[in-house]
Amino acid sequence: MPSVCLYFQAHQPLRVKKYRIFDVGNDHKYFNDFSNTNLNNKKVLSKVAEKSYLPANELLLKLLNKHPDFKISYSFSGVFLEQLENYLPKVIRSFRKLVDTGRVEILSETYYHSLAFFYSIHEFESQVALHEATIKRIFGVKPKVFRNTELAYNNDLAKWADNKGYVAILAEGWDKFLGWRSPNFLYKPKGTKKIKLLLKNYKLSDDIAFRFSDKSWSRWPLTVEKFARWVNRANGNGNVINLFMDYETFGEHQWKEHGIFEFLEELPGKILEHPDNNFVTPSEAAKKYKAMDTVDVPYIVTWSDTERDLSAWTGNAIQNSAIDLIYALEKDVHATGDERIIEDWRKLQISDHYYYMCTKWFADGDVHKYFNPYDSPYEAFISFMNVASDLKLRINKKLGVEN
């Protein structure tokens, strides 16, 4: 002990193209930008695949072959896999090679990387089922551990996952509900029977994900030796160190030129140098370790921003009116029975759409601007709302309702 649990989130949204009010009623393709901008989903996917997914997969396969005790886990959004199948099947093949080692676990989530749990349980369950079917079809496995979009978590979600038979659920190891307790243990979510809670060690995770190339950080540069020392410090005072991060950390957020791949390459060997250390997947951690205490999270906690709440997605009026509008359509969408309408409606639930409308720029501005393919949150809102108007028009037409 301690065990290290590595989990990577791999996701690419379907960004809404520049869609003007004059397009409403005329153009029903919302995600087919083929310009040279970052609204071109295929272009972004190809770029990130070259910089991140492919080299990282290749390296991790090498590491899995080299270290028989090395293990990792992923969560893939359905829209990510769908885009890869459409545009870059070779990336799917390389992920499959990793899963075929038997030491790569895939987690469960919503197909559309949505916040549906907080708006419509019925829709949420449909998306989880859709995701499960997709994972089964592509990788031939059934996920046993649940993690929600952006690690958005509360007691109710834990209860839901417990009822559904998941062995573990993931969340941010946030001090606000942990208090003096350490994220390096497993916990029992309040009101559940069997499920265990794995908490992200955000300090160590973010040392890699956010600070690796940050020269203004007092601990820069981050060497593997230094990092392994910090991990070893938990020895005797923790069971598992959960390093949760975006998969794009490798090569996209942190650049190859800054040595992120060298860091990753040396990491497993360095961690395993200490005889007490090992690697686990989330379901193995749940099996191996007992829950130390019960944690109560009555409010929503995410892994985002200094607030660790949903304010990056639903923090202002434009975000709320956009997301409310989409979920208000649910009944009518299903009433149409039109597969394409249902699919487009679901694609509009991708949480990134709302993230792009975030206006709290001052504390977290840099991150938000970096990830925003639109010139401003208002541009994102305008295109999105115009698209939603078009979708509404299609729904009403199908249902024979006057606009």
Partner 1 sequence: MSVTNPKILMLGWELPPFNSGGLGVACYGLAKALAKKGAKITFVLPKRVDLEFDFMDLEFANVNEPEEKMLSAYSTLHSWLVDAGIDENFPSDFVSGALQYAEKIKSIAMKVKPDIIHAHDWLTFPAAVAAKEATGKPTITHVHSTEYDRTGGHSPNKSVFNIEKDGLKNADKVISISKLQIDLLQRIYNLEKQKIELVYNGSSVFKKEQLPPALGHLKEMGYKIVLFLGRITLQKGPEYFVQAAKKVLEYDKNVAFVVTGSGDMIEQMIGEARDLGIIDKFVFTGFLREEERDRILQAADLYVMPSVSEPFGIVPFEAIANETPVLLSKQCGVAEILNHVLKVDFWDTNEMANKILAVIKYGCLHDDLVWESGKELPNINWDKSADKCMQLYRQLI
Which residue ranges make up the site for partner 1 (CB under 8 A)? 20-22, 316-318, 320-321, 359, 361, 375-376, 378, 381-382, 385-386
DSSP collapsed to 3 states, 233-302: CCCCCCCEEEEEEEHHHECCCECHHHCHHHHHHHHHHHHHHCCCCEEECHHHHHHHCCEEEEECCCCCEC
Distance CA 148, CA 153 (A): 7
Is 150 part of the annotated catalytic residue set? yes
222: CB partners within 8 A, 6+ apart: 207, 208, 211, 212, 263
Q: Closest distance between partner 1 and the C-beta of residue 385, in Å? A: 5
| For partner 1, the closer CB: 285 or 318 | 318
Q: Closest distance between partner 1 and the C-beta of residue 331, in Å? A: 23
> Nearest CA to 263 among 280, 277, 245, 281?
245
Q: Closest distance between partner 1 and the C-beta of residue 360, in Å? A: 9
- 2 upstream amide cis, omega within 30 of 0: yes
Q: Closest distance between partner 1 and the C-beta of residue 305, in Å? A: 17
Distance CA 239, CA 4 (A): 9
| For partner 1, the closer CB: 213 or 359 | 359
| For partner 1, the closer CB: 133 or 363 | 363
Cβ proximity of 238 and 201 under 8 Å: no
Catalytic residue among 109, 123, 150, 172: 150
Q: Closest distance between partner 1 and the C-beta of residue 18, in Å? A: 9
| For partner 1, the closer CB: 46 or 320 | 320
Q: How far is C-alpha 231 from the chain's CA centre?
A: 24
Sign, CA dihedral 223-229-234-240, equals positive
What is the radius of gyration, based on Cα positions, of the chain?
Answer: 21
Q: Closest distance between partner 1 and the C-beta of residue 376, in Å? A: 7
Task: Show which residues are catalytic.
Answer: 150
